[in-house]
Amino acid sequence: MPLTSVSQIRGLSQERAAKGMPVKLTGIVTNLSGYKNSFFFQDSTAGISVDRTDHADVGVGDLVVLTGTSSAGLFAPTVVASYVRVVGHEPLPRARRVGYAELIGGVLDSQRIEVRGVVRSAHMSQVFDHDILVLVVELGGGSIRGVVQNLAGINYNPLVDSTVSIRGVCTSHFNEKRQFIGAELYVSDGRGITVVQPAAADPFALSAIPVRNVLQFGQGQHRVKIEGIATHQIPGHALYLQDGSDGVRIQTSSKELVESGNRVEAVGFPVQGEYSPILEDGLFHVVGKATPIVPLLIKAKDAIGGRSGFDQVPYDQQLVKLQGKVVDSWIQGGQHVWILQQGSEVFDAYLPMITTNERTRTIGVGSVLMMTGICTVHADHEGIPTSFSILLRSPQDILVLKQAPFWTPTRILLLLAALAGVTLLAILWILMLRVRVKRQTRIIRESEERFRHLAQHDELTGMWNRSAILSALDRETDRCRRENRTMTIVLADIDHFKRVNDTYGHLAGDTALRRFATALSGCVRSYDHAGRYGGEEFLIVLTGILAGDLDERMAALHASISDLEVEDVEVTFRITCSIGGVFIAAGDEIDQHSAMRMADQALYRAKNAGRHRVVYQMFQRETSEEPLLER
């Protein structure tokens, strides 16, 4: 007997659902997924995702009868329909109002639901080659993405900071182990969005609040406006403002440059940062010049303290200066990090390598420094402050008060022990101090390594991300120009990758990307660079290859990363790639933009000539007459 209700199918174990149990259902099409001709379906018992082998034309609200078989799905049981017949049109099932906690675990997957919250951001995107509107809605306790498929009549910019009610089909994000990661809401069109409380027409018309009032009692989930003087900016990532003796970090994607000392108005959504509140999804504009903030001279022991049972953290996100003695330093992940000690307190300071100079690179252990920068307090998982860092803005923020002495603490200790000896108490004190320094150093190093790896590596493939590989290209371009060396820029693109996604699914596509990245990482030299440039396209930077060896090297590279076998959970298939490159001879006046364009042209020729091949050319500023060489 066939299964006749969705609840029966959803109740199957993964193993039983995979056996293809016969199914016959009657219910309503609640939404189209956008992937091929699949849709979401709901009867009186529950909702489910339906994949199809037929091609009947269905729309949202159609009452349909379908037959087919059960499937284990990639997360929850699904239906594979072999026959779908429209028998009428009905109102959509009532969407049940739910909160964020009810979404955890995916129990509402494929059900029509309603959520209410504040729109944090709105932007256009694409899924399955269709334009969509993506809304990030904060529900209180967590956020959900709303995907609006039909954009007709929607003006989405005024939705940001509005309180809205959204109705649609709940879908789940999950990993390769079928584990729930997050929820998403598929909304057919603008009728699924109701503005409960509109946002201010001009967010900068809001009344400004003092920085110290952010996230105080009574504030909701909406934007707030603050005013302050700029103390530091990381373009495209963050802007630091200070209002009197209070500072704040504003997370923003804006790359508009702001000079320190400018007076700035900013709006954003207040959330709990690592210790103090920050503003996310921030907007800002400069309103004029102001007197630059004078850094406050502090002592390390006062950065984190306590009084009357409460933590005292008076300088978080403020511009400060303090003195310390270097006990360790290293360069990692594009940052120069110093571990410093003042009395019994240990803290770290870090400076982006892009701003370092010869003077900062020669600062040794034992040097006494005066550091000026943004004080950033770190907290543990319970919100208790444990350590702090100094974010340096430029080498000018470092003043060397005393150069590193020849006599290190270890040598001095040995000398004193040989001449006069030391007491057991002094030895124990020094050992305890060293243990503390090592423990703090280890905590800080592990934290720095984790954040830097996330910032510079592609989450899916583990390779350098676009920003990191372009930074490597910048460095190699400068080095080849200084050292009169050759350089080859290569773009590699997986052939027919969209066909892989359409045929085998996006999880299989992800597996193919990881397989390709593993092969690529294994075939480049330790001093070459490779990273994910975007989508299925990868950028490789090769240095020091002679023109006479270029054919052999390009052929070897293509042989290593093309015609790869990919094994996914349920299928095995092969992928090939096309390669386009440009060779820059030693002494050429390198124009990186022209070189990248020529590499992209070569890749286009390789794909246009049938794919699964290599095309490269020699660099010229004017490329119209340069022949393309195919291997």
Question: What are the residues whose beta carbons fall under 8 Å from the beta carbon of 589, sequence distance 6 or more?
Answer: 621
Residues 253 and 365 grouped into a single domain: no
- CB half-sphere exposure, 557, CA atoms < 13 A: 34
Average pLDDT over all residues of the chain: 90
Strands 47-52 and 22-32: unpaired
What is the C-alpha to C-alpha distance for residues 630 and 617, in angstroms, rounded to an integer?
9
Q: Is 274 helix (H, G, I), strand (E, B) or coil?
A: coil
What are 277-288's pLDDT values in tens digits? Answer: 999 999 999 999
CATH classification at residue 241: 2.40.50.200
| Amino acid letter for position 297 | L
CATH classification at residue 571: 3.30.70.270
Residues 602 and 618 grouped into a single domain: yes
- CB half-sphere exposure, 483, CA atoms < 13 A: 11
CATH classification at residue 135: 2.40.50.140
- CB half-sphere exposure, 603, CA atoms < 13 A: 22
Residues 358 and 443 grouped into a single domain: yes
CA distances for 384 relative to 180, 537, 575, angstroms: 30, 43, 50
pTM: 0.60
Residues 150 and 214 grouped into a single domain: no
Residue 1 within a domain: no
Q: Is 190 helix (H, G, I), strand (E, B) or coil?
A: helix
**What one-character-per-residue DSSP string does 355-386 give?**
G--HHHHT--TT-EEEEEEEEEEEE-TTS-EE
In this prediction, residue 631 carries a pLDDT of 52
Q: Is 162 helix (H, G, I), strand (E, B) or coil?
A: coil
Tell me if 563 sits within 8 A of 477, measured CB to CB: no
H/E run at residue 614: strand 614-618
What is the C-alpha to C-alpha distance for residues 558 and 563, in angstroms, rounded to an integer?
9
Residues 245 and 344 grouped into a single domain: no
Tell me if 601 sits within 8 A of 577, measured CB to CB: no
What are 343-363's pLDDT values in tens digits? Answer: 999 999 999 887 777 778 788
- Best mean pLDDT range from 72-81, 419-428, 554-563, 587-596: 72-81
With cut-offs at 50, 70 and 90, classify the pLDDT of residue 262: very high
- Domain range holding 413? 310-448
pLDDT > 60? residue 82:
yes
CB atoms within 10 A of CB 505: 17
- Best mean pLDDT range from 153-162, 236-245, 403-412: 236-245
Residues 614 and 490 grouped into a single domain: yes
| Amino acid letter for position 141 | G
Residues 183 and 211 grouped into a single domain: no
Residue 301 within a domain: no
Question: What are the residues whose beta carbons fall under 8 Å from the beta carbon of 147, sequence distance 6 or more?
Answer: 127, 132, 133, 134, 168, 184, 185, 186, 187
Residues 488 and 613 grouped into a single domain: yes
Higher pLDDT, 237 or 361: 237
Question: How many domains are contained in the chain?
Answer: 5
